Amino acid sequence: MDFVETDEHRDLRAAVAKASAPFGGDYYVDHARRGAECIELWHALGDAGYVGVSVPEEYGGGGGGLVELSLVCEETAAAGAPMLLLLVTHAISAAVIAEYGTEEQRKEWLPGLASGREKVVFAITEPGAGSNTHQLATHARREGDEWVISGEKYYISGVDDAEALLLVARTGKDAKGKAQLSLFLVPTDAPGLQKVPLPVDVLLPEKQFTLRFDDVRVPASALVGDENQGFKQVFHGLNPERITGAALCVGIARYALAKAARYANDRQVWDRPIGAHQGVAHPLAKAKIETELAALMTQKAAWLHDQGLPAGEASNMAKYAAAEAAIAACDAAMQTHGGNGVSQEFGLLPYWGLARLLRIAPVNREMVLNFVAQHSLGLPRSY
């Protein structure tokens, strides 16, 4: 067992940090307050090959795996500019298209995803389904050479900046009456697709949307993978989403702790730095320990996924631990800053808000605890 990163991974971390540094916290916070996409950073990362690090080489990507994509997510966040859409465009959409898409679909979408010049966002959540994917109501029916889609999706990120959706819809029922799902690539400008902004109080560059599908027609070639096999295909992307979400949280925690440590060293009260007081130092030290523990679990989960080994338990644990660590780090950083912790000048609240959101999404911590109780401890299913 080797805990030392390879030279390649250390070089990737350093390169992503260097590419992100000219943007950083001030850039991100300004865009978050305005609700403006961090497109300049996204293009800089794309042009350098980091956005597409996990896309297969034959389609213009770096040919890496989830370990490499997680490093990109973590290092951009540690530089102060967490890229939330990497979770949906690459951890899910690019991975699913690469694994299950036709050769035509791969050639059409993967080069643009690899370059960062196109985005495909993920559309699964619905207001009436919650965490129960079997209850999805959006449905698609086959009419000749087309699929006709009707229904509603909720809390879909980045639709305004994407060329297409990777949509999850019901296409049938199995022998027990449970929903059978299929995946579709749907252009965001498709006739009959209504995009309604969903206001949230969290300061984010990425906007949220409610989507309404009123008999949206797509060609038969829009089907990704096999009809009625979408449940299996969706789960190919859900563990990577949780792992990259964990990596994003680790990066947020690192950024908040670095900012707090600088302030605790520089700020003097009663002729000594405030960091000399255990009441300031210990919460930061505790958050640092929790961040390092979360980072280890995140790395383990990404490695397991890339090795083709079962990664569900580690993915859920990493997501849980990293979200908790990020919230604790942001909270400790804000407390260290005192009143300045909520001032616009120091720009900490947007990171706390994103960390708090990631305690809920892409899977809430209660469902993670349900998973661990049932699958890791063998306890009766509680839901």
Domains of the chain, earliest start first: 7-119 (1.10.540.10), 121-228 (2.40.110.10), 231-377 (1.20.140.10)
pLDDT recorded at residue 47:
97
Reduced DSSP (H G I as helix, E B as strand, rest coil) percent helix, strand, coil of the chain, to 5:
55, 15, 30
Q: What is the mean pLDDT of residues 94-123?
A: 98
pLDDT recorded at residue 60:
98
Given a cut of 80, is residue 1 above it in pLDDT? Answer: no
CA-CA distance, 242 to 248, in Å (whole number)?
10
Q: What is the mean pLDDT of residues 191-213?
A: 97
Average model confidence (pLDDT) across the chain: 96
CA-CA distance, 202 to 188, in Å (whole number)?
24
Check if the beta carbon of residue 144 is closer than 8 Å to that of residue 124.
Answer: no
Whether the bond between 362 and the residue before it is cis, its omega within 30 degrees of 0, is yes
Question: Which residues make beta-bridge pairs with 217?
Answer: 148
pLDDT recorded at residue 131:
75
Q: Are strands 146-157 and 164-173 parallel, antiparallel or unpaired?
A: unpaired
Q: What is the pLDDT of residues 241-254, one digit of tens each?
A: 999 999 999 999 99
Q: What is the mean pLDDT of residues 165-179?
A: 91
* Radius of gyration of the CA atoms of the chain, in A: 21
pLDDT recorded at residue 346:
97
Q: What pTM value is reported for the model?
A: 0.97
Q: What is the pLDDT of residues 285-340, one digit of tens each?
A: 999 999 999 999 999 999 999 999 999 999 999 999 999 999 999 999 999 999 99
Intra-chain end-to-end CA distance of the chain, in Å: 37
Whether the bond between 240 and the residue before it is cis, its omega within 30 degrees of 0, is no
Check if the beta carbon of residue 111 is closer than 8 Å to that of residue 97.
Answer: no
For residue 57, count CB atoms less than 10 angstroms from its CB and return exposed for 0-12, middle for 13-18, buried for 19 or more. Answer: exposed
pLDDT recorded at residue 69:
98
Check if the beta carbon of residue 245 is closer than 8 Å to that of residue 87.
Answer: yes
Identify the DSSP state of 134. G
Q: What is the pLDDT of residues 144-153, one digit of tens each?
A: 999 999 999 9
